[in-house]
Amino acid sequence: MSKIILITILVGVAILSLQPQSLHSQTLMDERSLIAYLRGTFYEARGNYPEAYQWYSYSSNREPQCKRIKLSLARISLELGYLDKARSYSTDVLTDKRYEAEASMILAQVEYLEGNKEKALGLLENLRSRNDVPRFEILKFLSRIYLEMGRIDDAQKTLEEAKAIFPEDLYVNYRLGVIYTKAGDLDRAIESFRKVVEISPDFSGAQLALASILDHVGKKDEAELYYKSVLKLDPGNTDALNALSQLYLEEGEFEKGIELLRPLFRQGKLDDRGEVNYGRFLYEAGKLDGALNIFKRILDEQGEKPAVLRVIAEIEVSRKHYKTAYGYLKRLIDLEPDNFSNYMGLLLVAYNVAGEPASKDEAVSVSDEERRRYLEKASKLVSNDSFDGNYLFGVIYSDLKEYDKAERYLRRAERLKPDDRGNLLELASLYEKRGMYGEAIERLKKLWEAFPDDPTIANFYGYVLAEKGEELDFAERLLKKALSKEPENGYFLDSLGWILFRKKNYREAAKTLKRAIEKAGDDAVIWEHLGDAYLKLGERTKAISAYDRSLKANPSNDKLKEKVKSLKGR
């Protein structure tokens, strides 16, 4: 009602300022024109634009020279979508300086609606610096056109100018938040979206935008609160649901994720991504059977989906069901033959890098030809920047005794992660096998300095020092420290025995190596070391017996065969 009264008063004042010739004569026609105009303002204020248009038209017919009436007709024509009439009336009014600004605004809206954005822009730019126009509304209109034309910098400047006039406007703050986000100015984006939420607490879109940015900058707790707020306002908002799920996955909050998604899963309200996330939560929480049931059902209902096959294979690998996992991984590669990550799991199980299977039935039995085919295909896809990929290839080629290739991949991995424990150990092992003891010691020294209490590293370091024949006292101290932690470790005893051998303490070496065999069993290397010790002690028969036991454990040691043959032929 107050809007109606205000418009009526303003129009009444405007009518008094019109002073058309007919009003001076005080004829009946003039009174009818005025009454019709006032009725038009009444209906316009109530939003009854067709009725307002009729009364304004009647008034204009009686006062055809009155620009004020034509301006009202232009305004109502625009509301009704009569763009040609709005253009005609506003163009006619432009000649009157009193109404030029408002007429220009109407004409700019007409041009905009007809797709003439450049013309609309020109009209609005002419009004931008004037004091007799609603500058804030003009700036908002300008910003919208700039955004649609892709002139983001101009839009930003215009919106910031508008915000300086009225800081509490929702549209201005929201649009600035979007612009700042795209520009990477996240601090100002957060500030803008916070203002939007303050102005309109129920605006879920602004809360979601704010949550996403907070999530991105690491403010996870606050992001979680806003995601939850969005879901309270809009329970069906899948963007918020999936984003919150991803946050829980990244933060390891698996039980929270299960609690979030379980009710929706039971109600059948999760989309494909939501179901996958729910399955992942179950998997990460150790509920493997439940996770597998979900993923297999998704696979049955939706067909071969790479994301689902990938996670099923991952679960089966974690359960050490390598044969089952291998089948899923082959299907995955058939769907995405150029995705290197698909080959990682397959190569792990095909080349027995993943460890022992849960049972004999789950052991992977695959031909060398098939394994090699996948290996060669994957080698063409691996990125120089992939640590995991290069490390895996290094391990595989090392096991295949293709040491040049293994070294290339492991050195590449070393450049990516110079301090990675596993890669340094693998490189040291590779160099030790090739007799490149200096390179092995370089890595082992670095590892020992980083992990001085690790008995495995101390053992390996001491053994390689013995192989090279240097720092033998230090090597002995390393092994004694390792054995203080694992006194029953046969392989540690072997290393100590070999150090004693290299120190020419053959009697103690033989005693220690015999203990090593008792603890480690029939190990070819330990038996050979014991044979070497007996040989140095002049106990030829015992030496030959030890060498025979070594060859029984490893018949492919041609060098030792020649040695035994020579001894027996004496």
In a domain, 21, yes or no: yes
In a domain, 355, yes or no: yes
Query: For residue range 270-291, what is the model confidence (pLDDT) as tens digits?
Result: 888 898 899 999 999 999 999 9
Res 8 pLDDT > 60? no
In a domain, 340, yes or no: yes
Report which of 278, 271, 204, 275 is spatially closest to residue 248, judged by C-alpha positions: 278
Res 522 pLDDT > 90? no
- Are the C-beta atoms of 527 and 543 separated by less than 8 Å? no
Res 16 pLDDT > 70? no
> Considering 381, 408, 439, which residue would you say is the last residue of a domain?
381
Identify the DSSP state of 417: -
Q: What is the pLDDT of residue 20?
A: 44
Apex 399 CA angle, 384 and 356, nearest 5: 105
Query: For residue range 299-332, what is the model confidence (pLDDT) as tens digits?
Result: 888 888 898 899 899 999 989 999 999 999 999 9
Interval 147-166 mean pLDDT: 95
> Considering 79, 100, 133, which residue would you say is the last residue of a domain?
133
> 181: pLDDT confidence band, cut at 50, 70 and 90?
very high
Distances (CA, A) of 446 to 200, 414, 440, 458, 536: 58, 13, 10, 11, 34
CA distance 548 to 533: 14
Q: What is the pLDDT of residue 25?
A: 37
Instruction: Tally the domains of the chain.
Output: 2
In a domain, 495, yes or no: no
**What is the domain range of residue 363?**
308-381
- Are the C-beta atoms of 73 and 84 separated by less than 8 Å? no
Lowest mean pLDDT among 15-19, 113-117, 213-217, 355-359: 15-19
CA distance 45 to 178: 34
Fill in the amino acid letter for 3: K
In a domain, 249, yes or no: no
Query: For residue range 220-266, what is the model confidence (pLDDT) as tens digits?
Result: 999 999 999 999 999 989 999 999 999 999 999 999 999 999 999 99
> Structure pTM?
0.63
Interval 502-520 mean pLDDT: 94
CATH number at residue 103: 1.25.40.10
In a domain, 460, yes or no: no
In a domain, 142, yes or no: no
Res 116 pLDDT > 80? yes
Q: What is the pLDDT of residue 564?
A: 85
Res 12 pLDDT > 70? no
CA distance 68 to 56: 10
> Considering 133, 167, 188, which residue would you say is the last residue of a domain?
133
Backbone torsions φ then ψ of 380, nearest 5 degrees:
-80, -15
What's the mean pLDDT when you consider all of the chain? 91
In a domain, 499, yes or no: no
Interval 520-526 mean pLDDT: 91
Count CB atoms within 10 A of the CB of residue 502: 18
Q: What is the pLDDT of residue 568?
A: 80
